[in-house]
Chains A and B, each alone.
Chain A
Amino acid sequence: MSPLLDVRNLRVSFPTPQGRAEVVKGLSFTLGRERLGIVGESGSGKSMTGRAILRLIRTPGRQEADRLAFDGIDLTTLSERRMRDLRGARISMIMQDPKFSLNPVMTVGAQIAEALLTHETLARRDVQARVIEMLHAVRINDPERVTGLYPHEVSGGMGQRIMIAMMLIPQPDLLIADEPTSALDVSVQAQVLDLIDELVRDKGMGLILISHDLQLVARYCDRILVMHAGQVVESCAAADLHKARHPYTRGLLAAVPRMEETRDELPVLDRSAWSGT
């Protein structure tokens, strides 16, 4: 079976007064119907990778790849119009902060319906039923009431669940979640991730989880790519994360405080070893 996503030598660059700066430098990976985690610090290029897969890098930014194929479709040569049909319907993306990603002047119900109607033609009654069913699936109590609310009337955790509902309602094959919980509290974080995890597994979708939190990614993914300065420095199975060999990964792991902290001082990354961003 051909992989769901095949990325070879992906490069993303932006112009600066000193010439073009590459923020993703030759990234290659393949993804089946599995859960892949991309981890790195800010500026490591992990979010740009997620956006490049959806071809969302706008000029003056530029993206190039030897191969960028989704389910056998070559994304590098696809017309903008065909690309739009693909976005949302087959690959969708959950953004970081619900406060900035939901339309403030549209009700929640109308926004979710819009996501569905862009890709399917349905009777109004069916649309309403699908929206309510989806809100149920993301565990929102009383979905009939919530469909009539505006984004400022819902909490952060609920907003993120609405985002997830919106992204999953066209039943995509691949979900890209870019820091889906970093704007949320720890207690809500676990709920939202459990939910994504459950939906991804039930529907047999592929998932790319982008985060700076190694522990979290290790908990929810099968495979992990560690990025630094636009390159993958390590790729391993999530269960083998503690066996990671690259000094950067080890440094990141060691820098996290533990529940049972006995160290007097946390080890700090020696940045001179990798001329980073």
Chain B
Amino acid sequence: MSAISLKNLDISYGPTKVVQGVDIEVAEGESFALVGESGSGKSTVLKAIAGLAPEWTGEISVLGQPRGHMVDHGFARRCQMVFQDPYASLHPRKTVDAVLSEPLQVQGIGNRGRRVVEMLAAVGLDTRFRFRFPHQLSGGQRQRVAIARALMLEPRVMLLDEPTSALDVSVQAEILNLLKRLRREQGLTYLLVTHNLPVVSFMCDRMAVMNKGRIVEIAPATALHDGSFQDPYTQSLYAASGGNPDRKDI
């Protein structure tokens, strides 16, 4: 059974079709990347899976269960999303504790205090951050809270929308390490959207390259080592990212 299965997925915003005919199968426990320029529709695919872009046709199923167009409580427990900008995705007037407890409250899960404390520890935050507001945290700490929020319901599948592009390189390294460790410990499946190819090389097993709403190529992440891509668009994207400087001298 595949963790995420998209079949012939078309997504539109009003009259404009932004994604056309996307087919992806992500195996359970796999880390899969969606790569492309802005406007290529990669984030829109994540939004459709999460239910934030309801105008889609085709088939979306997560862990074997097809997703409808409506709000789906059960779905939220299987699949969660982490957004790009930690400065924009946390409620400015809610404490970390309130942000982390809310999904439990919505789903009617008890023992919230203990779960919040455990989750803070899992994402590497001290318990003294529990009753702080987002503005009292740094960018990296906020992204840790956002990841903790997504993990509160113990989902099997995580949708990551550029989780580190708003962060400094050194903080990016911390967050990438955290995501990698969590995946190993909890056996999560990741669908990661990014335009940073080295991040794909570090985090992912396979990648799909999108251009103008279509997938142009699906390749293993090891193709980034030598740039062995078939599609000319992928090759130009690879070249624009600087290629592999470690191999230039060969």
Binding site for B on A (CB under 8 A): 41-42, 156, 185-190, 212-215, 219, 251-252, 255-261, 263-269
Known: A212-B169, A266-B177. A261 touches B241 (CB 8 A): no
B247 at the interface (CB under 8 A from A): yes
Question: CA A264 – CA B172 in complex, angstroms?
Answer: 15
* A interface footprint on B54-75 (CB within 8 Å = 1, 0 otherwise): 0000000000000000000000
- Once the chains bind, are A185 and B195 in contact (CB under 8 Å)? yes
Closest 3 CB pairs of A and B: A255-B173, A266-B173, A257-B202
Q: Is B198 a contact partner of A252 (Cβ separation < 8 A)?
A: no
B201 in contact with A258 (CB, 8 Å)? yes
Q: Is the CB of A259 within 8 A of B201?
A: yes
Give the distance to chain A from B174, nearest Cβ to Cβ, in Å.
Answer: 5
Contacts of B170 in A (CB 8 A): 41, 251-252, 255, 268-269
Task: Across the interface, name the chain B residue whose C-beta is closest to A263.
Answer: B202
Whether, in the assembled complex, B127 has its beta carbon less than 8 Å from a beta carbon of chain A, the answer is no
Interface of B is mostly: helix
CB A142 to nearest CB in B, in angstroms, measures: 20
Known contacts A259-B224, A266-B202: A185-B37 contact under CB 8 Å? yes
Q: Which residues of A contact B243 (CB under 8 A)?
A: 259
| Residue of B171, B176, B240 touching A186 (CB-CB under 8 A) | B240
Interface pair B198/A259, CB less than 8 Å apart: yes
In the docked arrangement, what's the CA distance between A41 and B139, Å?
A: 12
22 example contacts (A-B, Cβ-Cβ < 8 A) are as follows A41-B170, A41-B171, A185-B38, A187-B237, A212-B168, A212-B169, A213-B169, A251-B170, A255-B169, A255-B170, A257-B173, A257-B198, A257-B202, A258-B202, A259-B198, A259-B242, A259-B246, A260-B244, A263-B202, A266-B176, A268-B174, A268-B177
B residues within 8 A CB of A219?
242
- For the A-B complex, the count of residue pairs with Cβ-Cβ distances under 8 Å equals 90
CA distance A266 to B202 in the complex (A): 9
The complex places the Cα of A162 from the Cα of B128 at a distance, in Å, of: 47
Minimum distance in angstroms from B205 CB to a CB of chain A: 12
Given contacts A186-B196, A189-B240, A266-B177, contact A259 B168 (CB under 8 A): no
Majority DSSP secondary structure for residues of A touching B: loop
B-chain residues with CB within 8 Å of residue A189 when the two chains form the complex: 240
- Across the interface, A41 reaches (CB within 8 A) one of B168, B180, B237, B244, namely B168
Bound CA span A267–B169, Å: 11
Partner of B244, one of A187, A214, A259: A259
Alpha-carbon gap, A258 to B197, bound state (A):
9
Which of A213, A255, A261 contacts B201, CB < 8 Å?
A261
Kindly provide the distance from the CB of A275 to the nearest chain B CB, expressed in whole angstroms: 15
Q: A215–B244 Cα gap in the complex (Å)? A: 12
Known: A185-B37, A187-B37. A260 touches B224 (CB 8 A): yes
Query: B236 — which chain A residues lie within 8 A by C-beta?
Result: 187
Q: What separation, in Å, do the CA atoms of A269 and B224 have in the docked complex?
A: 26
A259-B245 contact, Cβ under 8 Å, with A252-B169, A266-B173, A266-B176: yes
Chain A positions within 8 Å of B139 at CB level: 42
Measured CB to CB, the nearest residue on chain B to A264 is B180
B199 in contact (CB, < 8 A): yes
A190 — which chain B residues lie within 8 A by C-beta? Answer: 240, 242
B225 beta carbon closer than 8 Å to chain A: yes
The reply to whether B201 and A42 form a contact with Cβ atoms under 8 Å apart is: no
Q: Which residue of B lies closest to A183 (CB)?
A: B38
Q: From known contacts A185-B37, A258-B246, infer whether A265 and B201 are also in contact, taking CB-CB under 8 Å.
A: no
Q: Are A259 and B197 in contact (CB under 8 A)?
A: yes
By the criterion CB–CB under 8 Å, are A261 and B202 in contact? yes
* Interfacial chain A residues near B240, Cβ < 8 Å: 186-187, 189-190
Question: Given the known A-B contacts A185-B38, A186-B240, A215-B242, are A261 and B198 also in contact in the complex, defined by CB atoms under 8 Å?
Answer: yes
Measured between beta carbons, the chain B residues less than 8 angstroms from A42 are 139, 168
- State the CA gap A269–B172 with chains docked (Å): 11
**A contact residues around B38 at 8 Å (CB):** 156, 185
With A and B bound together, what is the CA distance between A97 and B38 in angstroms? 15
B196 near A265: Cβ-Cβ < 8 Å: no
Nearest-Cβ distance from residue A27 to partner chain B, whole angstroms:
20
Q: State whether B237 touches A186 (Cβ < 8 A).
A: yes
Known contacts A258-B201, A258-B244; 5 further A-B pairs (Cβ under 8 A): A41-B170, A185-B195, A187-B236, A259-B198, A259-B245
